[in-house]
Amino acid sequence: MAKSKFEYVRNFELDDTCLRNCYIVVRLDGRNFHKFSEQHNFMKPNDNRALGLMSRSARSVMEELEDITIAYGQSDEFSFVFKRSTTWFKRRASKLMTHVTSQFSSSFVYFWKEYFAEQPLLYPPSFDGRVVLYPSNRNLRDYLSWRQADCHINNLYNTTFWTLVQEGGLTTTQAEERLSGTQAADKNEILFSEFNINYNNESSMHKKGTTLIWEKVNETTTKLIKRPNEGETEVTVTRTRKKVTSHSCDIIGDQFWEEHPDILESDQ
């Protein structure tokens, strides 16, 4: 087919192919969720409807897009890890990033009612996205550890802050002053000695965030089978299916990775 004289504009497109052998991580984060959470009456410090909707949307990303082996989310962010050997969309960063963020955003709106029943969605939310490449298993694990450590630090702060306000009667300014310069041990101590709260017993989803992976699960169904001269008989059929499963566990230590050896591909 003859080319038009306009065809040359294609050459203005930049190559953004992700380096081979690297894990491709796409992290998205809610735009201005400080305001979004206030306007939609999120519970403080953690709103289980919002966290549930984030995870539901992340599951939709994993189910609809190719080659995502693990996703980790907390607060208004989610990270998606493409396997290091993926060739999906020729590893083009912009394609991978925009597919993840748009699939996530549309799912967030699509499933809103399932999680927020009586709370209407007041305006269309949006999420930013970025791509980061990690060349080794150690780097990838350190990335995920960084996000989980961030979750822990923020949750301990927010839990103590809102306990001081909601149960201790402090203003938000007073609570901020009270916590300025405190270490983790100080916050644990405030919760325990002043409010009889053992931080260890707080919800693991709030402390650890949410990790989504693919796992084989057995599904048993019953089927009606017609046999000649016997009429219909009911048989049970078990098949294994890969499903996205959700975990609120430590992913910094080795145990999680030893229990799920398929997530990482070997370093070469």
Positions in 224-253 near ligand DGT (CB under 6 A): none
What is the longest distance spanned by two Cα atoms in the chain? 82
Choices 25-33, 85-93, 197-205, 242-250; region in contact with ligand DGT by CB under 6 A: 25-33
The one among 75, 86, 159, 160 contacting ligand DGT by CB under 6 A: 75
Question: Which of helix, strand or coil describes residue 267?
Answer: coil
Q: Smallest gap, in angstroms, from Cβ of residue 238 to Mg ion?
A: 41
Q: Which does 136 bind (CB under 5 to 8 A by kind): ligand DGT, Mg ion, none?
A: none
Q: Classify residue 81 as exposed, middle or buried by CB count within 10 Å of its CB (0-12, 13-18, 19+).
A: buried
Q: Smallest gap, in angstroms, from Cβ of residue 29 to Mg ion?
A: 4
Instruction: Find all residues with CB under 8 Å of 24, minimum gap 6, and list them.
Output: 18, 81, 82, 84, 86, 91, 93, 96, 131, 133
Question: Which C-beta is closer to Mg ion: that of 29 or that of 64?
Answer: 29
Choices 27-35, 102-110, 176-184, 227-235; region in contact with ligand DGT by CB under 6 A: 27-35
Using alpha carbons, list the distances in angstroms from residue 9 to 4, 17, 92, 254.
Answer: 11, 19, 19, 50
Eight-class DSSP state of 253 = S
| Rounded Cα gap, residues 73 and 87, in angstroms | 24
Question: Which C-beta is closer to Mg ion: that of 33 or that of 195?
Answer: 33
| Residue 37: both structure tokens together | 């959470």
Long-range contacts: 46-51, Cβ < 8 Å, 24+? 46/155, 46/158, 46/203, 46/206, 48/205, 49/115, 49/116, 49/119, 50/76, 50/115, 51/205, 51/206, 51/210
The one among 50, 97, 151, 191 contacting ligand DGT by CB under 6 A: 50
The one among 16, 17, 31, 255 contacting ligand DGT by CB under 6 A: 31
Question: Which C-beta is closer to ligand DGT: that of 82 or that of 115?
Answer: 115
42 binds ligand DGT (CB under 6 A): yes
How many residues line the site for ligand DGT (CB under 6 A)? 17
| 7 torsion bin: left (phi>0), alpha (psi -120 to 50), beta (else) | alpha
Q: Which does 42 bind (CB under 5 to 8 A by kind): Mg ion, ligand DGT, none?
A: ligand DGT
189 binds ligand DGT (CB under 6 A): no
x/- map, 20-59, Mg ion, by CB under 5 A: ---------xx--x--------------------------
Eight-class DSSP state of 1 = -
Q: Which residues pair with 175 in a beta bridge?
A: none
- List the beta strands (DSSP E) in 125-189: 127-134
The one among 28, 40, 46, 91 contacting ligand DGT by CB under 6 A: 46
- Residues of this chain that interact with ligand DGT (CB under 6 A) are 29-34, 37, 42-47, 50-51, 75-76
- Residues of this chain that interact with Mg ion (CB under 5 A) are 29-30, 33, 75-77
